[in-house]
């Protein structure tokens, strides 16, 4: 919990995964710290805090953004989706399912950022080529897999989603 020592807090309202939250927050608190620390929704990860690794990717008003370089107050009256929004109950989202079946993750720390970036990609391009996948995922670092299984997973996910 970020304690207000500067008496500078603003009241913000934002929707996270369909739930409206109203909180007081210091202007300097990053969106990812707010979501993880204040709201306790911890699926979004912090890998670098300087906008390079993509682990903190969330969907902001329908666009993937890096929540480590955005402030929570900037998200006032906006809507955010995190990885927790993907699966419905027990059922994995087809992208999650495809990552699982293709060993598209090892430690899983980068995974939420990849999943949401892929969700955005497939919403715009239901049948991406290898080159397009590389292009779109070039802002996400995975240090474990070597990416090949991630590319396979994206292609599989595209098939699953086209079948739906």
Partner 1 sequence: MPTSILCNEQIPLLRGEGRYIDDIKFSDMLHVAFVRSPYAHARINNVDTEVAKRQPGVVAVLSGLDIHADIQPIRPLLKNSGFQATNWHAIAWDKVRYVGEAVAVVVASDRYIAEDAAEHVIVEYEPLPVIDSAATGMLADSARVHDNLNSNILLETQSGLDKDDTAFKKGDIKVRANFRHPRVTGIPIENCGVIADYRANTDELVVWSSTQIPHVLRDALCDSLGISAHQIRVVAPDVGGGFGTKMQALPEEIVVSHLARLLHRPIKWTQDRMENIKASFHARDVLVEAELSANIDGTIVGMRAKAICDVGAYNSFPLTAGLEPFTIGSALAGPYDFEYYSYEGYAVSTNKCPMGAYRGVGFVLGPMVMEGLLDKLSQKIGMDPALLRKKNLAQPTDFPFKSPAGPIYDSGDYPALLDLALEESDYSAWRNLQSEARNEGRLLGIGMSCFIEMTGMGRDTYRKRGMVNVPAFDAARLQVDRHGHLEAFISTPSQGQGQKTTFAQLISSTLGAPLDDIKVHLGDTATTPYGSGTFASRSLVSGGGALLKAAEMLQDKLVRIAAAYWQVDNNDLQYVDGRIFNPNQSSEHLSLKDLADLAYTPFQELPPSVEPGLSVHVSYNPPPAVSSSAVHMALVEIDKNTYEVKIKDYVVAEDCGTKVNQAIVEGQVRGGITQGIGIALLEELSYDSEGQLLSGSLMDYLVPGIYETPAIKIVSMETPSPWSVGGFKGVGESGTIGAPATITNAILDALEVSAQDIQLPLTPERIFRLKNKTKS
Positions that interact with ligand FES (CB under 6 A): 46-49, 51-56, 66, 68, 105-111, 142-145
Structure tokens at 132: 């397009």
Beta bridge partners of 157: none
Least Å distance between CB 63 and ligand FES? 15
Instruction: Please give the helix or strand (H or E) that residue 131 lies within, else none.
Output: helix 130-136
Instruction: Pick one of partner 1, ligand FES, none as the site partner of residue 84 (Cβ within 5 to 8 A by kind).
Output: partner 1
Q: Between 49 and 101, whose beta carbon lies closer to ligand FES?
A: 49
Least Å distance between CB 26 and partner 1? 8
Site residues (vs partner 1, CB under 8 A): 1-3, 5, 26, 28-29, 36-37, 40, 42-50, 52-53, 55, 82-84, 86-87, 92, 96, 99-101, 103, 105-112, 115, 133-134, 137-151
Q: Between 51 and 126, whose beta carbon lies closer to ligand FES?
A: 51
Instruction: Pick one of ligand FES, partner 1, none as the site partner of residue 56 (Cβ within 5 to 8 A by kind).
Output: ligand FES
Q: Between 85 and 149, whose beta carbon lies closer to ligand FES?
A: 149
Least Å distance between CB 115 and ligand FES? 11
Helix ranges, 70-110 (H) = 94-101
User: What's the CA gap between 77 and 57, in Å, rounded?
Assistant: 19
Beta bridge partners of 38: none
Cα 28 → chain centroid = 21
Instruction: Pick one of partner 1, ligand FES, none as the site partner of residue 92 (Cβ within 5 to 8 A by kind).
Output: partner 1
Instruction: Please give the helix or strand (H or E) that residue 21 lies within, else none.
Output: strand 19-25
User: What's the CA gap between 78 and 136, in Å, rounded?
Assistant: 24
User: How open is the CA angle 84-89-95, to the nearest 5 degrees?
Assistant: 60
């Amino acid at each position: 919990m970020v304690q207000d020592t500067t008496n500078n807090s603003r009241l913000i309202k934002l929707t996270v995964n369909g739930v409206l939250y109203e909180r007081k927050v210091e202007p300097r608190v990053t969106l990812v710290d707010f979501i993880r620390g204040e709201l306790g929704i911890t699926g979004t990860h912090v890998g670098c805090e300087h906008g390079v690794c993509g682990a903190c990717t969330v969907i902001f008003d329908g666009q993937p953004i890096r929540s480590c370089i955005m402030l929570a107050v900037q998200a006032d009256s906006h809507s955010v989706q995190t990885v927790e929004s993907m699966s419905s109950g027990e059922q994995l989202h087809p992208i999650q399912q495809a990552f699982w079946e293709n060993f598209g993750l090892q430690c899983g720390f980068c995974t939420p950022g990849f999943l949401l970036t892929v969700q955005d990609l497939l919403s715009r391009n239901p049948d991406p080529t290898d080159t397009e996948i590389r292009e779109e995922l070039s802002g996400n670092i995975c240090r474990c897999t070597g990416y090949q299984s991630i590319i396979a997973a994206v292609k599989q996910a595209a098939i699953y989603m086209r079948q739906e």
